[in-house]
Amino acid sequence: MRLTTKGRFAVTAMMDLALHDHHEDQPISLASICERQGISLSYMEQLFSRLRRNGLVTSTRGPGGGYHLGRQMSHISVIDIIQAVDERLDATLCNGNGDCHNQERCMTHDLWSDLNKKMLDYLASVSLGDLVARHASREGWFPFTESLPRRAPRPRAKGSSSLPVAA
């Protein structure tokens, strides 16, 4: 069982798009996502072609073109993204066929099948919106809610430390 770079990059790119796509008229270019994430443009084009075919993104052609999310980020699960780019997550050796050991079911088949189910259930339960919210709260900013204040770093006097000073 392995999540390859295809699935990882697709989730990363979708998260980047969600963070920068504020449903304005200006689409987000793949070049800007690639630059921010350090991913090859040709590779990203392949992934976004699959994401578009699966309705996870919409595209605008021409100068100033790019991408928007195809659905609300709360309606896009991580498993939707991974499956859209043809990533297969499977902990069994037999692709779930039950012919893992000399054309018979191996002793640990049920263990790996159960792991597959739990893994898929978990990835289906996490939305792109959940990831963005988690990232935003960790970074101390809230990109989609104007009413929430941005957390600014506390100014420190030059040479001061964050350790309490005994009097």
For 104-138, write each residue's pLDDT tens digit. 888 888 898 899 899 999 999 999 999 999 988 87
Angstrom distance (rounded) from CA 34 to CA 57: 16
Is residue 70 scored above 90 in pLDDT?
Answer: yes
Residue with tokens 């600014």: 152
Q: Tell me, which fold does domain 5-88+127-139 have in CATH?
A: Arc Repressor Mutant, subunit A (1.10.10)
Q: Which pLDDT does position 159 carry in this prediction?
A: 45
**Highest mean pLDDT: which range of 2-16, 20-34, 90-104:** 2-16
Is residue 158 scored above 70 in pLDDT?
Answer: no
Q: CA nearest 112: which of 88, 97, 96?
A: 96
Q: Which pLDDT does position 160 carry in this prediction?
A: 40
Domain ranges of the chain: 5-88+127-139
Q: Is the dihedral of CA 18, 20, 24, 27 positive or negative?
A: negative
Summarize pLDDT for 15-63 with one digit per residue, the tens: 999 998 875 678 999 999 999 999 999 999 999 999 999 999 999 998 8
Is residue 144 scored above 90 in pLDDT?
Answer: no
- Across the range 85-103, mean pLDDT stands at 79
Cβ neighbors of 19 (< 8 A, separation 6 or more) are 132, 135, 136, 143
CB–CB of 65/25 below 8 Å? no
Q: Which pLDDT does position 23 carry in this prediction?
A: 55
Q: What is the pLDDT confidence band of residue 142, given thresholds at 50, 70 and 90?
A: low
